[in-house]
Chain A
Amino acid sequence: MQTPTTSFSKFTDLSWRIFVRNIRAAHRKSILGMVWVVIPPLVNAAVWVLLNANGVIQFDGMEGVSYAIFALSGILFWQMFLDALQIPFNTMMTFEPIIKSLYFERSSILGATSLEIIFNAAIRFLILIFGLLFYEISFGIGSLLFVIPVLVLLLLGFGISLWLLPLFLLYKDVNRLLGFATQFAFFLTPIVYQLPDSNTWFGKIAYWNPVTPPLLAARDLVLLGQTEHWIGVGIVFLITLILVISGWRLFRVTCERIIERI
């Protein structure tokens, strides 16, 4: 059987090319371009601020933190997770015709995907910086540790995505189901509300939700400079690591089998 001779530098070079291609292609037919990454979280946050202002959403407050920046940061971290979940699907969809007609190192699609996930997260983070400046939240050295839970959050989304990828490519239902599930998950994750009492069933769901620890830790670190969710982050990290490594292998092993079916 053939063994494609691809060195690591070829892999990174190709990943980079695919990444640049995707970013360029995505924004070429748009006037506002990157603005579309900025607007949705702002509008989303504005809606929750309105609900809070009218007493629909309770927020007993973190010290010195307004609900607006609490909701905005939560939504931005959630978006980072969603990007990590969805970008692999989108990239595979654009590459479907190419994969069917040209052989190249398939893993470089995943490489490009990882770059795009990090790129998008960086843009979301820029928005957050403006938010922090606006609400005069001090950002100390300790706050920089937020990078760790954010990486866990991205890896979690990416890992889930890798495992769903074969199913997603074979059946269109998966895409619909995912859109539905993520909407649902938004409300089951303490993004726009604080972690509820773990004695209620709602609290239990939020507590066992794997997105909860890294998301809350990232937000705590950015807004307060410290967090009590490190153990949760560590556990989710271990699960995530297994997910990503096995998912990447699954992709490599099954890619050709899937390509010929779609």
Chain B
Amino acid sequence: MSKVLLQIEGVSKKLCKNLQLSLRYGLKDIGAQMFGLQMSQDLRKEEFWALKDVSFDLKQGECMALLGQNGAGKSTLLRLISGIMKPDAGDIKLYGSAKGIVSLGAGFDQFLTGRENVYVNGALLGFSTKEIDAIYNDIVNFAETEEFMNTPVKYYSSGMTVRLGYAIAAQVKPDILIVDEVLAVGDEAFKEKCLNRIKEHLKIGAVIIVAHQLNLLKRVANRCLILEKGKVIEELSDVEAGIEQFRKRMHG
């Protein structure tokens, strides 16, 4: 019996379509939180459920593909799991660490060199300086950016930035690795390397992956969740069937 690493129970998240109102609600919520008041569970004007009543759990060795059109709630779900956002209702129980980068290379400072950014990003992901020293070469080799480690990230191609970002995140070896749209960038060889790394990761943990290249998902995922307008409409262990179903829905 493999270990449950993540339990998501009835998780909902509200977002607001209107910026001005969103800021005002934000202010109210902060006030409520400061005084420990219960926050309203109803939708306020211009709000919508970005996620509604999502439940699932994830065990070691599972690679869950999140399928859904733009705006279906995939990124919101990843943000909730990684701790960037808090749910409005429901519970997220993590047994271990969930790490990943929701948008790769976001922590990079454009004017710092690749090397400096590895250290900063590694620290943000929870590594001490010593620990980064130990894995530095692995990161650089994986990203294939040896020549450019002393160049400011500003002069990197978008592919290089993403490769370096992913290389750092993959080295973290969290219990749950979150992979968001990595496969969209990078050449074939790099994609291949990423897929292999994901397969390897499944021996020690679990993976949650979002990618619009459905054929690649088939090769690593062993479960899939189809999201539509914030709701789970299907959860399947047959990824091939899931992708087929998702394609049908997408094209009406």
Residues from chain A with a CB closer than 8 A to the CB of B23 are: 170-171, 261
**B33 and A254: CB pair below 8 A?**
yes
Interface code A92-114, partner B: CB below 8 Å = 1, 0 otherwise?
00000111111110000000000
- Mark the stretch among B55-63, B102-110, B139-147, B189-197 that contacts chain A: B102-110
Residues from chain B with a CB closer than 8 A to the CB of A257 are: 26, 29-30, 33, 86
**A256 and B84: CB pair below 8 A?**
yes
Task: With CB as the reference atom, state the residue of chain A lying closest to B108.
Answer: A98
**B102 and A101: CB pair below 8 A?**
yes
Interface code B79-119, partner A: CB below 8 Å = 1, 0 otherwise?
10011111000011110011101110011010110001001
- Number of B residues with CB within 8 Å of any CB on chain A: 42
- Mark the stretch among A23-31, A55-63, A79-87, A146-154 that contacts chain B: A23-31
Residue A126 at the chain B interface, CB threshold 8 Å: no
A21, A100, A166, A256 interface centre (most CB from chain B within 10 Å): A21
**A21 and B109: CB pair below 8 A?**
yes
Separation in Å of the A105 CB from the closest CB of chain B?
8
Separation in Å of the A140 CB from the closest CB of chain B?
41
**B129 and A253: CB pair below 8 A?**
no
Task: With CB as the reference atom, state the residue of chain A lying closest to B39.
Answer: A257
B interface: dominant SS:
mixed
Name 6 A/B residue pairs within 8 A (Cβ), A-sorted.
A14-B124, A104-B124, A104-B125, A167-B27, A256-B83, A256-B85
Q: How far is the CA of A28 from the CA of B153 in the complex (A)?
A: 13
Residue B128 at the chain A interface, CB threshold 8 Å: yes
Residue B216 at the chain A interface, CB threshold 8 Å: no
Residues from chain A with a CB closer than 8 A to the CB of B119 are: 17
**B102 and A6: CB pair below 8 A?**
no
Answer whether A25 and B112 are a contact pair too, CB < 8 Å, given A13-B123, A256-B85, A256-B86. Answer: yes
**A4 and B83: CB pair below 8 A?**
yes
Residues from chain A with a CB closer than 8 A to the CB of B29 are: 257
- Cβ contact of A170, chosen from B27, B92, B116, B126, cutoff 8 A: B27
Residue B34 at the chain A interface, CB threshold 8 Å: yes
Q: How far is the CA of A100 from the CA of B15 in the complex (A)?
A: 15
**B106 and A98: CB pair below 8 A?**
yes
Separation in Å of the A253 CB from the closest CB of chain B?
6
Residue B120 at the chain A interface, CB threshold 8 Å: yes
Residue A259 at the chain B interface, CB threshold 8 Å: yes
Instruction: List which A223-262 residues lie within 8 A (CB) of chain B.
Output: 250, 253-254, 256-261
Q: How far is the CA of A259 from the CA of B83 in the complex (A)?
A: 11
**B84 and A253: CB pair below 8 A?**
no
Separation in Å of the A32 CB from the closest CB of chain B?
16
Residues from chain A with a CB closer than 8 A to the CB of B171 are: none
Q: How far is the CA of A97 from the CA of B126 in the complex (A)?
A: 18
**B98 and A261: CB pair below 8 A?**
no
Q: How far is the CA of A99 from the CA of B82 in the complex (A)?
A: 11
Answer whether A254 and B107 are a contact pair too, CB < 8 Å, given A4-B83, A13-B123, A101-B102. Answer: no
